[in-house]
Structure formats: C-alpha cells, structure tokens
Structure 1
Amino acid sequence: MRVSSEVQRGLLQTIQHSSFPTLTLQIPSPNKSDDGLRSSLSYEDPDGDLIVPRKKSNVRRKRPNRNALVTTTNLMHLRVAASSDVDECGTQLWRGALLLSELLLDNNKLIEDVSVLEVGCGIGLVAIIASRYSRIFFATDNDLETLKLTQHNIDRNVHGRIRVRHLDWTDLTPVERNGIFGWTSDELTAFQSASVILARSTLQFLKFLYGRFNKSEFLVMYLTVEKRVVFAIDTMSSISLGYDVFQQSICSHPNIRTKTVGKSHQYQCSACDRNQRYFVASPIPVISIPQVFQYVRMTTLELWRVDGIIVNENESIVDKKSAV
C-alpha cells in the first residue's frame, strides 16, 4: 500500500529533481555562543559545492552580531520521496519530525554537549538540527533506502557531528561491521553512553526503548506520537493502534510507584502488571513550543518525555548484581 504525507504537499514549495522532490525549509541559525560550533559545521550548496560559513561583515554596523552565520545557513534543502510503501514511510516528512525539531530549536540545552541517539531518522531533518548542539548524534534506521536518503540530506546541509548508522530494532546492541552504515568500536562505545533518545514512532520501538532504559545509567527520551484513528473490522470499533499501545505502556500510578535503589530512572509499582512493560512518562504541552515551520499542528499530535521504566523486584536485583 502506498502512502503520501500531506505535510509535504502543503509545506513551502516543492522542486522536482528526478524522482525525488526537494523541500526548502528556513530555520533559525544556531545560537551557541562559542566559535567552536561554527568551525565544526560543514555543508554543501544544492550544486554540491562546499560552502564555508563566515561571520557577517561589521562594516557600517554599530553592533555587529559576532555569532551570525551567512544567510545561506538558514536554508535547508531536503530530498524526500513523493510517496512510499507503508514500511518505507521514513523517506517522507511527517509532522512528528517537525514538532521534534521545533522542541530542540527552542530548548537546545536538552541535548547540548551530550551523545544523542535517534531511533528512526527519517529524512534527516531532526539529525541536521540537533547535531548543531549535541556532542555526537547517531541517526539510525533499519531501512537501507532511508539511511541513503538521510546521508544525502546531511551531506548537503550545515550540520554538526553526525553518524548515520544501521540499527536493528530487535537487537539492543549493534555489532561492529564494515560498510558505509556500519559501526566502529569507538562509535559503539559512544552509542552505549548516549543519554538522550529521540523517536517519533512507538509501536515497533517500545521493546527496544525499554531495553535501552534497562541497560543505561542515565537516559531520557523525547518522542512524538500521532493518534491516527482507523476502523477495526474484528472489533467493529475505531482504534489508534500505535497510540493505544503507547498509552497502555505508561504507568498511571504516580502516587504508588517508588524509585529503585539502583539506577535513577528505574521505578517499582505494585499496581502495574508485572508481565507488561511500562514507562514513566509525562506529556509536554505542544502549545508551549514556538512553531517554526509552516504546517498544521493537529490536535492528534502529541509530545512526550520519558524519564524511566517500571521494573519488577527480580529485574532490579539482577541488574544491581550485574553492576557489582
């Protein structure tokens, strides 16, 4: 089944380049105060020529902006697929990526100078923006065509330190391997120490994300989820499969759960089903985030912060023993 993002159809102007349309977006310049950011950024213009960011001239200006980059750094050129199969929808631009990007533009200290892991990198929009503030950014996906498209977009836009890598979401730890999207031993070490996870989908990632929380010393996750309602023939009712599964995976007993003695993001809750995975999560008001891009923010689009997981007593004991 083919799907097409309505966001792409209405977002700015689309210019045709062979089978891939290109979106041109305007974004704010990075506001880091040190010159180190400027020296770490690199990008190419739409013709593939390297552009060196330079300070604006202070001639005839009473108060020059010492940290301003040339205006071309405000433009982002992104290739997207006009349509795709359902299992390859990462090659299109969706509302979740726009909202997550806006969160980071407005609150870049959330990822400043830390290792960040993005699960499901899409067309690379979030990676390009977030890498300007993070120490290292891992843009991952399990689809080869999505990774190729992400790498293309990263190569043609201003960015920080990004690694585009293949990640099997059924395996908590990637293995070292050769290839353009393979992992080096140093990258695997940085992967394990990532303290922030960004994600947009939920249904296929929940097991992986729970496992990451269970293995990490410190971790926080920001994710967007959209409530897409469909009619289920077997139950003869309207459901939102991915959204409903995520909601059912959130612990709703803040007055009962307690922190474990071990890791700071592990909790215990006597009211939660021991046979199910639960997250400790809270919604972030979408209205509190300034809108940068031109798209319709549907009321079905939500943003969540996940601070931990619910573990049963046996899991906590095993984990503490393994850490000794």
Structure 2
Amino acid sequence: MKFVYIHNTKPRCIHNSTMFTVTSEIYSETNYQTTRDGSRAVSKFRFVYPEEKLAGTTTDSDGDLEVPRPRRGLIELEHSEATELRLVGLQVWRGALLLADYLFAKRQEFAGQTIMELGAGVGLTSIAAGIHNPGKVYCTDVDLGCILKLIRGNVERNSGLLTGQVSVLEFNFLTPRGEQSKELLKAIDESDIILAGDVIYCDTLTDAFIGVVDQFLDKSQQIGRPKTIYMALEKRYVFTLEDCDSVAPMYEYFLRQTANKPWKLEHLPLDFPQYFEYDRCKQLVLMKITRR
C-alpha cells in the first residue's frame, strides 16, 4: 500500500543523510517564547486557571459590578523540537494539551483520585494533573533518550504549581507483565484515572498499548477498583492509492484491533473549555475506555 501525506495534517518530516526526523506542528502554530540550548529547547506553555464560582457578587466604590480577571499561569518545559521517530516523546504533542484542558475541566470530579499518565513524554499532562489534584500522580514512560531524567527536571522546574505529588516511573509497553517492577505494579493497583496522549504511531506500539489497557481493566476487575482510561490522539490522514481516499491509518487500526474487546469505548465531545494555548484542530479525538 502506498501512502501520500496530505498537507498540514501531519508532523513535518526533515531528511538528512542519516535519518528521518519529525517535528510537532505546535511549535510553528503558537509562540511559546522558546529559548534554545544546543539540541534542547525550553518553552512556556501558558494557561488560564479555571474560574471558581464565588458566593454572591462584589462591587467597586462606584457600585459597579466587579468582574474577576482571569488568573494566568505557565508550565515551563525542557524538550526537543525535532527527533527521530523513536524519540518523539522528547517533544510536546497536541494530545497532551487536550488532556491538560480536560483535566482542568474535570478538576473537581478527579480531585483526590490517583492518576497515572502513560507515555508521558516531557511531562506536560502530568504536571497539569498535579496543579489541581492534591492526590498522587504517576508520570510514566519508557526511558529512551534519558527522558525520565528530563521529566524529573521538568517536574522540579514546575514544583511551585503543584498541589499534589508527581512521581516518575518507567513503564515500557513492551515489557511482559511478569517482568514489570514491583513499584510499577503497586502504582497500577492504586491508579483510578489513566491518561494517554498520542501514544500510538505504529502497529507494534498500538498492539502493545492495547495490551496495557487490558492489564488495567483486568486489574480493575480483580481488585474491585474501577479504572477509567482517557486516550487523546490526533488523527493523521494520508491518501492511499488502494482506497483512493484519505484515511487515518493509526486511528483506524486501533479501532479495528479493539472492536471485539470487552471494553466500553466512548468518543467524548470536545465541548469543554480550552485553558491552554494551542490550536485545538478538528482532527483531535478524546476517548474514554472502561470495562463493559
């Protein structure tokens, strides 16, 4: 099958003599006041705090109604701007920002729940989770490109924002369950809300991620502690000569592979407020997965 990428629906690809690299679109769409130090960048991801409902109203000295100004904040992250495909976690992708918005919108519902992020990249979503959640947040990824060290640095960099504890653990989707660390297995048991943003970009990883979702839902049933997975991704369309149509192969492969699973998979409307600065494009998808 031959694929032809459609303009503006994919990461930019850069070719040199040794490898292909990919670059997240968000850097060219929004000014994150990025500074650079060699191969790494530091960017400011700005957000607006949700408005809290106050009892009654206040007026100024002239008797005019006082309208509270939005309170603003930022998450400062060290990251890469271009990587080879296997190191894309070193970049920031749109799905992480969508999940951060959803966490802010659901802050009261999720308060006190234990949260685990899978494939956390440089940690944006986990840090966003820790802003309003006084409970525990597990931030996990496979340790390629020293990413766990990078995440820990980013958590420390933003520690002043956090109301809860963000712990960084390795979670390799390809590691068999019997070889997972005791620390990780304990965290899986404790987790109530599981987040995953833009974690599928090849069939092998998709199959492995599906196995991880099965693990969480099986554990939920075994220990009687409900677990809910929220998965965000951006559909990346290509044109295939075989279909003579544009398709989103990774998204469609995921749906095919999970069609007969004992899961309840819901596509959630993206009608919640946007708190972070990014382009919430129409290709974004947010799914909620629970056991039937």
Indicate the TM-score class for this superposition, using the shorter chain for normalisation: 0.7 to 0.9
Quote the residue 1:143 is aligned against: 143
List structure 1 runs of 4+ shifted beyond 3 angstroms: 28-33, 231-239
Task: Check conservation: 2:50, 2:105, Cα contact below 8 A.
Answer: no
Q: Tell me: CA distance 1:21–1:236, structure 2 relative to 1, closer, same or farther (3 Å).
A: same
TM-score when normalising by structure 1: 0.66
Would the aligned equivalents of 2:21 and 2:85 in 1 still touch at CA under 8 Å?
yes
Whether the 8 Å contact between 2:194 and 2:227 is mirrored in structure 1 is yes
Deviations 1:90-143 (A, max 9, x none): 111111000000001111134211211111111111111102305111111113
Query: Secondary structure of 1:298's partner?
Result: coil
Whether 2:196 is the aligned partner of 1:199: answer yes
The corresponding residue for 1:175 is: 181
Which residue of structure 2 lines up, in the alignment, with residue 18 of structure 1? 38
Kindly state the Cα deviation for residue 220 of structure 1 after the two structures are TM-superposed: 0.6
2:121 is matched with: 122
1:264-302 CA distances to partner (integer Å, 9 max, x unpaired)?
xxxxxxxx4xxxx3521111111x121122222221111
Q: SS in structure 2 opposite 1:74?
A: strand
Seen in structure 2, the aligned counterparts of structure 1 residues 31 and 298 have a Cα distance that, compared at 3 Å, is closer
SS in 1 for 2:278: coil
Unpaired segments ≥5 residues, structure 1: 34-70, 177-182, 252-271, 310-324
Give how far 1:308 is off.
1.5
Work out the CA distance in 2 between the residues paired with 1:109 and 1:281. 23
Asked if 2 retains the 8 angstrom alpha-carbon contact of 1:111 and 1:134, the reply is no
Relative to structure 1, is the Cα distance of residues 249 and 280 closer, same or farther in structure 2, using a 3 angstrom cutoff? farther
**Equivalent position amino acid for 1:210 in 2:** D
Q: CA deviation at 1:229?
A: 1.8
- How many Å separate the matches in 1 of 2:177 and 2:108? 27
- Paired with 1:120 and 1:303, the residues of 2 have a C-alpha distance of 16
Structure 2 residue matching 1:164: 3-state secondary structure: strand
Contact preservation (8 Å) 2:188, 2:216: no
2:79 alignment partner in structure 1: 80
Structure 2: stretches of 5+ with no match in the other structure: 1-19, 54-70, 201-205
Q: Distance in 2 between matches of 1:107 and 1:230?
A: 33
Between 1 and 2, higher relative CO (CA 8 Å, sep ≥ 6) is seen in: 2
Q: Is the CA contact 2:237–2:247 (under 8 Å) kept in the aligned structure 1?
A: yes
Asked which structure has the greater CA Rg, the reply is: 1
Q: Separation in 1 of the partners of 2:248 and 2:148?
A: 28
Deviations 1:219-255 (A, max 9, x none): 111111221123457877644222012222455xxxx
SS at match of 1:295: coil
Amino acid across the alignment from 2:190: S
Matched, 1:5 2:27: no
Check if 1:165 corresponds to 2:169. yes
**Equivalent in 257, 263, 277 of residue 279 of structure 1:** 263
Q: How many residues align?
A: 240
RMSD: 2.9
